[in-house]
Amino acid sequence: MAKQNRRTQSRNKTRSSGKTTRSQKKSAPRPKPRRPLPKKRAVSLAASPLVEARNSAIHGRGVYAIAPIKKGTRVLEYLGERISHGEADSRYEKKGDDDGHTFLFIASNRTVIDAGVDGNDARFINHSCAPNCETVIENSRVFIDAIRNIKPGEELGYDYQLTWESTDDPAELALYACRCGAKKCRGTMLDKEPTDKREVDKKKAKKKAKKR
- What pLDDT is attached to residue 202? 74
Query: What is the reported pLDDT for 35?
Result: 52
Distance CA 193, CA 191 (A): 6
* pLDDT of amino acid 152: 98
Residue 62 to residues 52, 59, 93, 211: CA-CA distances in angstroms?
A: 8, 7, 26, 50
Cα–Cα distance between 16 and 202 in angstroms, integer?
A: 22
- Residue 101's pLDDT is what? 62
Give the containing element (helix H, strand E) for 64: strand 61-65
- Chain centre to alpha carbon of residue 205: 28
Q: State how far the Cα of 182 lies from the Cα of 190, in Å rounded to an integer.
A: 15
Which numeric CATH code is attached to 32-43+79-131+157-211? 2.170.270
Residue spans of alpha helices (H) in 142-194: 170-173
What does the alpha-carbon distance between residue 123 and residue 18 come to, in Å, rounded to a whole number?
9
Q: What is the pLDDT of residue 114?
A: 95
Residue 138: how many CB atoms within 10 A of its CB? 17
Question: Per-residue confidence of the chain (212 residues) as pLDDT tens digits?
Answer: 333 332 334 333 333 334 333 333 334 454 555 555 444 445 568 999 999 999 999 989 999 999 999 999 999 999 999 999 999 989 887 765 555 567 899 999 999 999 999 999 999 999 999 999 999 999 999 999 999 999 999 999 999 988 889 999 999 899 899 999 999 999 999 988 899 887 777 777 776 676 66
Looking at residue 47, what is its pLDDT?
94
Residue 97: per-residue pLDDT: 53
Q: Give me the pLDDT at residue 96, please.
A: 58
